[in-house]
Structure 1
């Protein structure tokens, strides 16, 4: 089987696949087109081959002519189900389908799933012109398509909620990310890490992601055990609701 790996940077997954001894031919399409990626497999690059800035749609153009039997995708294609669908061209997708991506990336659907499962979740507002917004609550303005904290800001009185953004209640706490494997029915929690957010010593600000530290950090053993149980509850609930498959992440 020939497997196409696509996304902003395909190098990490491609290198893992090749070094694992996987008996499949790997081809990749990404933005960077790292030189050493070309030592591992056939590759195409938006930057090297098309001389264009990154845009998910250009991955379709860059992959034209590549032969493959199945598609695997990495960040940030989870934000672009239609690009995944076109790139796959009716071939097997090794991961969540475009339909699943559309559902799980919808804030209303996602947070309704948590609420229905009895899991506490922040309030959200989708309306472009929310009426009587309660500013006793601190609000975050977040892009519907985002990654790494890009575009997230505190929403203040008088600020506009532009198309493509939503509001989410800002809750104090430690930022964590979790990775889990899913089979469409249940999930296995693989790891949890504390996220470094807005650390100026690493060149970041506001809500920008700048690294991770394997947990538990900043919590006692009892708190850590409770956190693991709660995250396990979340990943199992969303796996059952959205039929997630493969390796997934949640922040």
Structure 2
């Protein structure tokens, strides 16, 4: 059994997918949730849960340990970087020198997260995107400030912007575009792509943060022309930036118009919405084949799949999870990222993730919303 490491702010989805594909998994993340540890043969912490920030020293120490010791007497094939590494190309480079990185190269990640390079490429190739400025606009009305090194939408601000220091080279300003936030989940081999499907994203306001990522629903149907356009954009970006493995393309949809927001050059949260057809490799096996062998899943007729959804549940008040509350959560239908008893949460800390399925996106959203409200009410009334 081959051993691989998966690293992210939360590595549970990658760990479960890799274990399901027959790998021995070492998980590196901030939380060490019950189901993450269940899927992995070993868990190594790489940061404090409440920080939502990966500690470089902890990552490198963990990778050195795996490179030196292996796992269960077997060498570790490499490591896969997930959410939280988008703005850390130097860390990716240092980590890749210790243990092979199975994914998009750090140099490509650096270019993707350089606003001038990324949006300059889009403009040169007439790929639609909401207007971008690298300096604060004179009239900030209708503009957003973003951090190209951020993830999860926590970095997005409306005008007027509250900053402790002047904007850095990775901050940029973007016209707010009306419409529905969406994404395309795809597998890339550096030249071409295999699109798994399209998703509707769930974003909500948290205080001064208007667009925090809270989940996704997919696959959802889109018009053939739009699917063709978005796929062509993903293919163009893959060839330019040599994207490899599981990725996602975030965009706004306003009627027939689209506006590209960013590319996530790593396994996205939406990967957990997809099951490969019977007889095909799973999503993590497909990731490795694309990265290591340049092999994409073969084109297949669309297979029947229910619409799936994920919803991150955030704490609405400070709490400490006692044993009784932990047991209630463990028995909750469709729960993932299950915290251990004794864990403390501040307001807006991620508590867990709910999942649901149904025949259409509206039904799935309703089930997720109902589940979230019932779960939070349960914790409030029985805390």
TM-score scaled to structure 2, two decimals?
Answer: 0.55
For this pair of structures, how many residues does the alignment match?
A: 236
1:103 Cα offset (Å): 0.9
* Structure 2 match to 1:238: 237
Quick one: distance in 2 between partners of 1:111 and 1:100?
Answer: 14
Quick one: distance in 1 between partners of 2:181 and 2:49?
Answer: 37
Quick one: distance in 2 between partners of 1:112 and 1:249?
Answer: 20
* Structure 2 match to 1:72: 80
* Structure 2 match to 1:175: 181
Q: Do the aligned partners of 1:184 and 1:243 also contact (CA within 8 Å) in 2? A: yes
Quick one: distance in 2 between partners of 1:170 and 1:30?
Answer: 33
Quick one: distance in 2 between partners of 1:51 and 1:176?
Answer: 27
Partner SS, residue 249 of structure 1: strand
Do residues 155 (structure 1) and 159 (structure 2) align?
Answer: yes
Q: 2:108 aligns with which of 100, 105, 109?
A: 100
Structure 1 residue runs of 5 or longer lacking an equivalent are none
Q: Do the aligned partners of 2:187 and 2:193 also contact (CA within 8 Å) in 1? A: yes
Flag the 1:156–1:34 CA change in 2: closer, same or farther, 3 A: closer
TM-score scaled to structure 1, two decimals?
Answer: 0.81
Flag the 1:15–1:138 CA change in 2: closer, same or farther, 3 A: same
Quick one: distance in 1 between partners of 2:224 and 2:177?
Answer: 21
Structure 2 residue runs of 5 or longer lacking an equivalent are 71-75, 251-383
Quick one: distance in 2 between partners of 1:69 and 1:79?
Answer: 24
Q: Do the aligned partners of 1:198 and 1:204 also contact (CA within 8 Å) in 2? A: no
RMSD: 3.0
1:181 Cα offset (Å): 0.9
Deviations 1:177-210 (A, max 9, x none): 111111111112211111122168xx99611122
Flag the 1:4–1:215 CA change in 2: closer, same or farther, 3 A: closer
* Structure 1 match to 2:129: 121
Do residues 138 (structure 1) and 142 (structure 2) align?
Answer: yes
Quick one: distance in 2 between partners of 1:117 and 1:207?
Answer: 28
Q: 2:193 aligns with which of 179, 187, 191?
A: 187
Deviations 1:44-63 (A, max 9, x none): 1246xx89954331322344
